[in-house]
Amino acid sequence: MPSVIESEVLIRVVEPRDLREVYEVESMSFTGSLTYDFSVFLFYYVTAHDLFLVAEALGRVIGYIIGLIEVRRREILGHVISIAIHPLYRGLGIGSKLLKALEERLTSRGALRIFLEVDVLNKPAISFYRKHGYVISGILKNYYGVSDAYIMVKEVGASLKQF
């Protein structure tokens, strides 16, 4: 594994040239039906724009995170769509750095809550999100086909913003 420390990792907005490496990270991080098709990254490149971030080190993409802003019942919500770190670079704080950067962008756009879905069997991810202040608020049956998902939420604002 190349030697990388957290301070050497650059978090930036994804560029078209990054999408192949993002897809490689995805393929190494998820299996089967949980793996996004390359076209999904093209879609989020267009729709998420600057809420699609990559972690770069040594000139390579070693992780990514995708978020969206959603409005429900006059409430602005942040939605973490996906996050993945190259297996060789896990445990170095890169996921935390990506999540923090996305949360800052979502809150700067008015999100008062940020939510995500996570496989109920993915104990490391659940622990990661709990460490960052997310709590389980519900369950989605068969979200991943044969597996359920927890909905996890983090409150980031003091009061509901209304239009």
Predicted confidence (pLDDT) per residue in 95-121, tens digit: 999 999 999 999 999 999 999 999 999
Say what the pTM is: 0.91
Type of residue found at 3: S
**118 touches 144 (CB < 8 A):** no
Q: Is the pLDDT of residue 3 over 80?
A: no
Give me the phi and psi of 32, to 5 degrees please.
55, -135
- Could you give the 3-state DSSP secondary structure of residue 60? strand
Residue (of 100, 94, 60) closest to 80 by Cα position:
100
Residue (of 136, 84, 78) closest to 112 by Cα position:
78
* Domain edges within the chain: 6-155
Q: Residue 117 has which token pair?
A: 């879905």
Predicted local confidence at residue 59, as pLDDT: 93
Predicted local confidence at residue 163, as pLDDT: 32
Q: Residue 37 has which token pair?
A: 């098709």
Render pLDDT for 125-163 as a digit per residue (tens, 0 to 9).
999 999 999 999 999 999 988 899 999 999 997 544 443
Predicted local confidence at residue 161, as pLDDT: 45
SS (H, E, C) 65-107: EEEEEEEECCEEEEEEEEEEECHHHCCCCHHHHHHHHHHHHHH
CATH code at 6-155? 3.40.630.30
What is the pLDDT confidence band of residue 35, given thresholds at 50, 70 and 90? Answer: confident
Predicted local confidence at residue 4, as pLDDT: 61
What is the pLDDT confidence band of residue 78, given thresholds at 50, 70 and 90? Answer: very high
Would the CA dihedral through 58, 131, 158, 78 be positive or negative?
Answer: positive
Q: Is the pLDDT of residue 22 over 50?
A: yes
Residue (of 123, 115, 157, 160) closest to 140 by Cα position:
115
